[in-house]
Amino acid sequence: MPEPITRTIMETFDVPDSGYETVMMLVEMAPHVNSGLHTHPGFDSAYLLEGGLTVLELGKPDKPIRAGESWHVLPGAVHEVKIGDRNTKVLAVYVVQKGKPLATPWQPDSN
């Protein structure tokens, strides 16, 4: 049985004169997969190659995405991606702080 989400890093390179790096990745997701709420330590931009998905960002309306469309998420924004009923491929480009995890699962405050 294939993995529900596979991530293949295509290229990583430093952003000159900064503490950031750019990571280009192919993300493949099975139907009906949910990424779970998470954040990134930098910018997340993506282009949908195949399939369909919905981007859910806390405090914003749901954003359905079709093949051929792109979207972005600002640093630290809590969001998740829900996949439709087809296999989905995304070209994701992250510009993130070097040395930090590419994504961190989000946990609501326990206070």
Token pair of 21 as six digits? 């790096």
Predicted confidence (pLDDT) at residue 110 exceeds the cutoff of 50? no
**Are the CB atoms for 24 and 49 separated by under 8 Å?**
no
Q: Which of 84, 101, 88 is nearest to 38 (CA)?
A: 101
- Tell me the DSSP string of 25-65: EEEEE-TT-B--SEE-SEEEEEEEEESEEEEEETTS--EEE
pLDDT (tens digit, 9 = 90+) per residue, 37-96?
999 999 999 999 999 999 999 999 999 999 999 999 999 999 999 999 999 999 999 999
pLDDT at residue number 51:
98
How many Å from the N-terminal Cα to the C-terminal Cα in the chain?
Answer: 40
CATH architecture observed for domain 5-100:
Sandwich (2.60)
- Mean pLDDT computed over 16-44: 96
- The residue behind tokens 């995890």 is 101
Domain boundaries, the chain: 5-100
What lies within 8 Å, CB to CB, of 97 at 6+ separation is: 19, 20, 41, 42
How confident is the model over 2-21, as pLDDT tens digits? 689 999 999 999 999 999 99
pTM given for the model: 0.90
